[in-house]
Amino acid sequence: MGLVVQKYGGSSVADAEGIKRVAKRIVEAKKNGHQVVAVVSAMGDTTDELIDLAEQVSPIPAGRELDMLLTAGERISMALLAMAIKNLGHNAQSFTGSQAGVITDSVHNKARIIDVTPGRIKTSVDEGNIAIVAGFQGVSQDSKDITTLGRGGSDTTAVALAAALDAEVCEIYTDVDGVFTADPRVVSRARKIDWIAFEDMLELAASGSKVLLHRCVEYARRYNIPIHVRSSFSGLQGTWVSSAPRKQGDKQVEQALISGVAHDTSEAKVTVVGVPDKPGEAASIFRTIANAEINIDMVVQNVSAASTGLTDISFTLPKTEGRRAIDALEKNKGTIGFDSLRYDDQIGKISLVGAGMKTNPGVTADFFTALSDAGVNIELISTSEIRISVVTRKDDVPEAVRAVHSAFGLDSDSDEAVIYGGTGR
Ligand code: ASP
Ligand code: MG
């Protein structure tokens, strides 16, 4: 039996009871003959509370100090979990990200892992211990300062450690039973997916599905680490995310034509009105946005009215970057050349994802029909080989997601989706 990396999210370790329950689960895996490395998030909403606190003492907290503060959240849960395991009669040692060898670049609040040197973890498990590692944190190679990996970063810690330790599997324990065909908080008839390919999971994550972060799936695909997403509250099999379908019992799992429907209400839309329809205009708009280090999502340009020679260009971006994008464009209004800017944060995005789209011609038509039957107006459209996304009014999103989910036959016969904990934030 090999080594397994298990990751427990904030809602799984929200209180002392939760920590004791997780400790039992970890000990079970150990008793089954595995070497176990457990990665933990901060308890419950600790990270949000620490951010609130920081903002009370400083409107824009210094990145270095914010990282120092936030990493304390994971240190609390790792130490408590190690104590709970010892109380069950097993040896456990906790390690910070830095001690575990998680080496990052020096970008505070959203550092990237550049190397993992898990020597101490290896030694600890070889000596028979259960190793507990604080998720979401590392140490900068250059500045030697403590860094964090961005919200939800513990999943990435777990996958990175699994790759560096050559683990059999990375188990991600969360507050739902796996990856669903839609967010069970919106679609009660959402169905649990038994297996999903890395590619489809990447598209779902990029489209707003919150079960797994995009960066974590990307990492798992690069190192070909199978992820098993499952609940720490139930003993059920969850969702396997891997490169090839796996057998479950004696039944071969097939690739679904449509994997699921994702939605995202965290974006806003900027429209640049009255742009001269000539070469170089789009380039200068998006150069301005890029120079402000802002990532954009969808882009559309309208046909220009022949009489004016002017066109409108719309794009979407994270709401959190909206203010900065508008400021950057206003500042360069003279050089870019446009009439005005419009900002709209009442939008939502709905995406249908599935490898079957490549070969099934009717999917786009069925998607638009489902939206029109639900009376939902489409504002922007974008596609990839295995995804169609539309932007609609934010208020239309829940209805639109349910309509598309039903239209593609994804509804389960019962309300099987259980949400065991957490606030979903
Ligand atoms: N505690 C951090 C957060 O809430 C990291 C994580 O949960 O993965 O974002
Ligand atoms: Mg968390």
Instruction: Count CB-CB contacts under 10 A for residue 210.
Output: 16
Torsion from C-alpha of 397, 400, 406, 408, nearest 10 degrees: -100
Q: What is the pTM of this model?
A: 0.90
* Distance of CA 63 from the midpoint of ligand 2 (Å): 19
Residue 392 · residue 347 · CB < 8 Å: yes
**Helix, strand, coil percentages in the chain from 3-state DSSP, rounded to 5:** 35, 25, 40
* Distance of CA 363 from the midpoint of ligand 1 (Å): 36
Nearest CA to ligand 1 atom 6: 152
Q: What is the DSSP letter of 69?
A: H
Residue 394 · residue 361 · CB < 8 Å: no
pLDDT of residue 249: 64
Residue in 8, 77, 136 to alter for ligand 1 test, most ligand atoms within 8 A of Cβ: 136
Residue in 151, 157, 172, 229 to alter for ligand 1 test, most ligand atoms within 8 A of Cβ: 151
pLDDT of residue 275: 94
Task: For the chain, give the number of residues.
Answer: 425
Question: Which atom in ligand 1 lies closest to the alpha carbon of residue 10?
Answer: 7
pLDDT of residue 250: 61
Residue 3 · residue 167 · CB < 8 Å: yes
Question: Which atom in ligand 1 lies closest to the alpha carbon of residue 42?
Answer: 1
pLDDT of residue 419: 72
Q: Which residues line ligand 1 (CB under 6 A)?
A: 9-10, 41-42, 47, 73, 135-136, 151-154
Ligand nearest to the CA of 42: 1
pLDDT of residue 320: 93
Question: Which atom in ligand 1 lies closest to the alpha carbon of residue 153?
Answer: 8
pLDDT of residue 248: 64
pLDDT tens for the chain, residues 1 to 425: 799 999 999 999 999 999 999 999 999 999 999 999 999 999 999 999 999 999 999 999 999 999 999 999 999 999 999 999 999 999 999 999 999 999 999 999 999 999 999 999 999 999 999 999 999 999 999 999 999 999 999 999 999 999 999 999 999 998 889 999 999 999 999 999 999 999 999 999 999 998 999 999 999 999 999 999 999 888 889 999 999 886 666 666 777 889 999 999 999 999 999 999 889 999 999 999 999 999 999 999 888 777 888 999 999 999 999 999 999 999 999 999 999 999 999 999 999 999 989 888 899 999 999 999 999 999 999 999 999 999 999 999 999 999 999 999 999 987 667 777 654 43
pLDDT of residue 425: 39
Ligand nearest to the CA of 44: 2
Burial of 71 (0-12, 13-18, 19+ CB in 10 A): buried
pLDDT of residue 247: 66
pLDDT of residue 308: 86
Ligand nearest to the CA of 69: 1
